[in-house]
Amino acid sequence: MERKTGPRCGEDNCSSRRYHLDSGSWWCERGHRSYQLDVKGVDDDGFTGGQNVVTATKRKEKQERVQTLFTGGKKIELYLQCYQFVLRQQCWALIHEKGLPAELETVVHDLWVLRLQNFSGLLQRSDLEDSVKAQEFSTQSDAEDEEKNKYGLRRQTAWTHPESLPNLIQTLALCYLSSVILRFPLLIGDLVRWANAGEIVYMTASKSLQESMKQRLHGFLLLKLEASSILAPDQLQTVVTDVAANYNSLFGVEVPALSYPPLLYRIMRELCLPLDVYPAAVALKELLQYQFSFPSAKEKEPKKYSGADQAQVQLVCCIVIAVKLLYPFDQAKRYPHTSAEPASTVLDWDVWASKMKDPEPMNRDGPLTNQEAWKITEGDIMAMDKDRLDDYLDWYEKTIMDEEVLSKAPGYKGREVWFDTFPVSSTRTREPPPSPALSDHVSDTTQRLRDIQSSLKMRRAVTDKEAEKSKKEVQRPGSGYRFYLEPIHLEGHARLFYEKTADFVGMSVVTLLRTVGETEKRVKRRWRAKKEDLAYVSDDGED
């Protein structure tokens, strides 16, 4: 009979250390079975050697993990490879799931190759730790980084500086500029919605990387591939202008002007606006001499950019001003001179608002969207009911937790039996519906558009002679034009229209108000100058 000496038995306060093997199990001299020895086995040296081996093995594994971190130029090269991997995943989703042309990947590739030229000398350096040391202790998020340059262009040296590695949000800017080059009607608001909804890689970009890549990447570089919060309005607008200007100044790449007809159609259709808005917006574009082009860093590098210098913002401002001129929110009666004028049609804003209002917020029985989950605070969690809390934990497990990393955590294998017995994954299928692709036919938008268009009415025309005969003051289209300077000035239909417009194009209401106000001043100056020119020509003709 085989006998061994091992640790104290402990069963019923048994102090025996002598064991014998019987029927494949170890028993102490007092008849107690040692389940611990059955699982682990024993060593000839009294079980101490096995523990030392485990400790040495763990120490060796930890040492190997530390040594796998890349340093110097290899560290930056690996980060750029991870960045490129995220960029390719975004292109794949935009092409195969959102309906963008396949040439998008080629254009993004070409722009990215140009960007890599800034790192050709950087990758050859072996003493890179000093140059990026400041980043290692920086806690700035992408939003804070862009806030410094909210209204201005970064200096050209920013992209060539050793510490200037591309941020995660610049991947979306590259995708957008590539769509502009391809003349595809993509809005910045589309990318913001898809990124916040998790339909393209952005919020947890590092989770999509292979584990072998993440193990060799420093933590502060890995954090650059993580978004600290959902994309805020205006954030991507500023980055797009910055990236376009830097490509123009450093590489001579001139991004073409926006192909505004399809974009104008998309915005009008989504907002269910009458067709007369189109020629009015085009007329404002001609008056303001807008090209809807991206500013050049060589032309305006010394001065700061304003929101009205951004191409898409200029287009949106023309639409908003055209709506305010043709269909005022106060719905006062304004009589055109003839029935052929665009302002002869009247938009029923009550019908428009009833069709455009969102459903009641956050249906308790509905699925939890990605945007809602990211905005949840500690107080919201404490107030959640059972089903909503299950939804939030399911979302957290799917979005934040990394099963591959968790499986390698100390003590995980010992808890596997508990996870199998009490699974934490929900068996319910409560996935929120994805946003439709650009090529999909959205039936509800079409129905809303039909209902609103059918409610249009005609305003009776009043000529100047009829107005003189009536001896009453007749308001004409454009009179009583209302200027909105602050969000508190918005009320009723005006507030809903501004909110819907800003949300669809990827802007905040505050920025939309400010840029529309700047554009209105430009319109006033241009119109006054045009009238003076006409008067000057008329005087020359009389002479």
| H/E run at residue 346 | strand 345-346
- pLDDT interval class at 302 (50, 70, 90): very low
Reported for 406-409, long-range contacts at CB under 8 A and 24+ positions apart, including other chains, are: none
- pLDDT interval class at 342 (50, 70, 90): confident
* Percent share of the chain, pLDDT over 90: 27
**Residue of 525, 505, 542 whose CA lies nearest to 234:** 505
Of 14-18, 294-298, 321-325, 353-357, the least confident: 294-298
Confidence (pLDDT) at 172: 95
Query: What is the rounded CA–CA span in Å between residue 69 and residue 78?
Result: 10
Confidence (pLDDT) at 500: 93
* Tokens 């990124």, located at residue: 195
Query: What is the rounded CA–CA span in Å between residue 84 and residue 97?
Result: 19
Answer whether residue 534 shows pLDDT above 80. no
Most confidently predicted of 198-212, 423-437, 516-530: 516-530
pTM across the whole model: 0.74
Structure tokens at 320: 């908003």
pLDDT, the chain, mean: 76
- pLDDT interval class at 265 (50, 70, 90): very high
φ/ψ bin of 289: left (φ > 0), alpha (ψ from -120 to 50), beta (otherwise): left
Query: What is the rounded CA–CA span in Å between residue 472 and residue 479?
Result: 15
Instruction: Encode pLDDT of 408-442 as tens digits.
Output: 555 555 555 555 655 655 555 455 555 555 544 45
Of 131-135, 410-414, 501-505, the least confident: 131-135
Of 55-64, 383-392, 505-514, the least confident: 55-64
| Strand boundaries in 77-142, DSSP class E | none
Instruction: Identify the three-state secondary structure at position 422.
Output: coil
Amino acid residing at 121:
G
Greater pLDDT, 475 or 408 = 475
Instruction: Encode pLDDT of 134-165 as tens digits.
Output: 444 343 444 444 444 433 334 444 565 545 78
Instruction: Identify the three-state secondary structure at position 20.
Output: strand
Confidence (pLDDT) at 267: 94
* Mean pLDDT, range 294-314, rounded to an integer: 68
Confidence (pLDDT) at 3: 79
Confidence (pLDDT) at 517: 92
- Whether residue 316 contacts residue 267, with contact meaning beta carbons closer than 8 Å, is answered with yes
Neighbours of 294 (CB within 10 A): 24
What are the DSSP calls for 314-340, one per residue? HHHHHHHHHHHHHS-TT------SSTT
Answer whether residue 297 shows pLDDT above 70. no
Instruction: Identify the three-state secondary structure at position 418.
Output: helix
* Mean pLDDT, range 253-266, rounded to an integer: 93
